[in-house]
Structure 1
Amino acid sequence: HNGHVWSTISPLLGVTDTAEPPMYPADPWHKVVFHRVPIMQPGVLPSDRDFVREVAKRNQLPGTQYRIGNVRFLLERNKVPREEVTVRVDFIEQEDARRFLRDGIFLFGSHCRATRYMPR
């Protein structure tokens, strides 16, 4: 599999070296959706960095910047959220995901329900 990937991207990168670099599949992320997450300023979403800080501060999750792989605000097309939003968080550690699925999460002063992410 690596050979096919490398033969495809090496010309695009202008690489002439024939040695293939090692490639490893990404670690699986454990995706959780948090519902009814309050927005502190109507119509303005927090940055991913501020969101991760809030998760760490309110939920005793040390080293959060290394434990959350991705944050995605799930929005309807062309609709600006006014008071609350749904957020998908990809956790690196399965135990973190399980904890929040079991207990929910505190974000921006509210307890938010959590469900497992199911792609459409």
Structure 2
Amino acid sequence: PSSDLQDVPGQIERVPQLTQQVAELTEQLAGIDNTWKTRVQGMQETLDARKKLVDELEARTKALNDQLADAQGELRSTQARLGDENKQVMMRYMVYGGSIAGAGLLVGLILPALTKGRKKNDGWV
């Protein structure tokens, strides 16, 4: 009959030990669960903060792009005005130059004609 006995304790003797082991494992699992919840919450907060930062940066980029477009439009307008002013200045210089050339031509034609009539004959020719 001693060969019929088992070395392993019976179920009644093992129930308190297994109950304690279940309680310990449940406690460990709860600790792990709390740790993961804390980590996930931290990651979620970091993700939310980064999303907010991305949104702010996108808004700032849009505002800067709008300012750039406005500045480029103003630059084109100013360059067009400057081109028109340069054309006006060139026309003014041309008119002044033409006036001076015309006056010089008239003086060059009239002055010799006036002096020709007053020439004295010295007998040289």
Q: Which TM-score bucket, shorter chain as reference?
A: under 0.3
When normalised by structure 1's length, the TM-score is 0.18
Q: With a CA cutoff of 8 Å and minimum separation of 6, indicate the structure with the bigger relative contact order.
A: 1
Q: Which structure has the highest helix share of the two?
A: 2
Larger radius of gyration: 2
